Amino acid sequence: MTQTRLSAQLDELARRDLIRSRRILEGPQGPRVAIGGRDYLAFCSNDYLGLANHPRINAAAIAAVQRFGVGAGASPMVTGHNALHQRLEEKLAAFAGLPRALLFPSGYQANIGAVTALVGRSDAVFSDKLNHASLIDGARLSRAEVTRYAHGSVASLARALAASDAKVKLVATDSVFSMDGDIAPLPEILALCERHDAWLLVDDAHGLGVLGAGGRGALEHFGLASPRIVYVGTLGKAAGVAGAFVAGAEEIVETVLQRARTYIFSTAAPAMLAAAVEESLDVMREEAWRRAHLAELIAALKDGLAGSAARLAPSSTPVQPLIVGANAAALALAEFLRERGILVPAIRPPTVPEGTARLRISLSAAHSIDDVRQLVQALRAMPSLPQGA
Ligand SMILES: *Cc1c(COP(=O)(O)O)cnc(C)c1O
């Protein structure tokens, strides 16, 4: 029976410590979250600037609901696109420093839409081994030939590009890797794209708002500009809201608009989302202290753990992983912290490669230095990590 087979598959997941479950938050996202009637100090969200419950952004959403209602009602192609979406797209293009931007309801849709619109059968996609699932799925759906190059390796990418005779080539990479926190060598990757006449898709989900002097993300961080860049920014992480955009040259964005099935066949995001994001862009610019504070928190965490058994992977971003190895060990450490009132997620395969389960610590400008000290204390008190995991 089908059901029996599903139960057997679920049992197998449980046996491998891969069952996932959701915690039910009883209030807003923030440095403290309420779960089961208890408050936890949380290092789990991608709300890097602490904007997910910002009064000005909340107020902008409410005002937009009063003018535009809650539902967009249709695909953007069929009356779902309104004045707030249009104005936001113009502001997002200016924010990213690119000619044009197209707003999507989510980053997952934006990545799949951009990749499938730009390449097809007989083309080639070159994808970093640790890229986000949405880029992997976009590449598969595109039917292009996919080559996965070694993580962050310019040499591996160079070999793959040189060996390809595809007519159209697309290199796709996360800017900041979501589970590792390290930054892709974008200037070198862009130089390779120039040499091999390839598009470069930069997924800046974890860079936007965080990287660059003005928080404009990875392109600002590296000072990059090129008509071959396809930029994807997401708006549910540092920007604190939801949604995403694809930005780039006029022809790129118009092609995505005409061809991306995840855009054409999906209801537009509510206007309140556009209004909230617009306000968030202003807050990000005006409250530059949030980025400075975040940098202090990252330094405090690293300093606090220096010389301890809790060794963080190298990362200069708010994503600070502590790689454990075995799934059960990562779960046990997360539980150890939870009993002490601290939430840090245990991340397991397939989100990360087999044998690299980890605690993924993420910091937010809404944390205080004291919050980080508390985390450091708990991490230093962790039972010793199992060997050979
Ligand atoms: C979260 C994430 C996405 C997906 O964005 P959503 O808006 O959450 O759908 C895409 N790429 C990366 C690297 C991400 O971390």
Angle between helices 271-286 and 55-68 (to 10 degrees): 150
CATH of 55-286, one of 3.40.640.10, 3.40.50.300, 3.40.50.1370, 3.40.50.1980: 3.40.640.10
pLDDT tens, 45-59?
999 999 999 999 999
With a 6 Å cutoff on the Cβ, whether 236 touches ligand 1 is: yes
Is residue 110 a contact partner of residue 104, using CB atoms and an 8 Å limit? yes
β-partners of residue 38 are 35
Mean pLDDT taken over the chain: 96
Residues annotated as catalytic are: 178, 206, 237
Q: Could you tell me which residues are beta bridge partners of residue 201?
A: 172, 230
**Ligand 1 in reach of 204 Cβ (< 6 A):** no
- pLDDT above 70 for 138: yes
Nearest alpha carbon, ligand 1 atom 5: 107
Tokens 């590449």 sit on residue: 139
> Does 151 have pLDDT greater than 50?
yes
Any atom of ligand 1 within 6 Å of the Cβ of 178: yes
Please provide the distance, in angstroms rounded to a whole number, between the alpha carbons at the two ends of the chain: 37
Does the pLDDT value for residue 136 go beyond 80? yes
Q: Specify the ligand 1 atom closest to the Cα of 131.
A: 13
Q: Confidence band (pLDDT; 50, 70, 90) for 250?
A: very high
Residues of each domain in the chain carrying CATH 3.40.640.10: 55-286
CA dihedral over 85, 90, 91, 95, signed as positive or negative: positive
CATH number of 22-53+288-380: 3.90.1150.10
* pTM of the predicted structure, to 2 decimals: 0.96
What residues does CATH 3.90.1150.10 cover in the chain? 22-53+288-380
Q: Enter the tokens of residue 303.
A: 């300093």
Q: Is the CB of 174 under 6 A from ligand 1?
A: yes
Residues contacting residue 251 through CB under 8 Å, at least 6 positions apart: none
How far is 276 from 95, CA to CA, in rounded Å?
A: 15
Distance 375 CA to ligand 1 centre (A): 26
Is the pLDDT at 340 greater than 90? The verdict is yes
Q: Where is average pLDDT lowest: 9-18, 51-60, 151-160, 186-195?
A: 9-18
**pLDDT, tens only, 277-319:** 999 999 999 999 999 999 999 999 999 999 998 999 999 999 9
Nearest Cα neighbor of 259 from 114, 144, 124, 145 is 114
Residue 237 has phi, psi (to 5 degrees) of: -105, -105
Share of the chain above pLDDT 70, in %: 99
Ligand 1 atom at shortest distance from the alpha carbon of 242: 7
Q: Hey, what are 352's tokens?
A: 């990360």
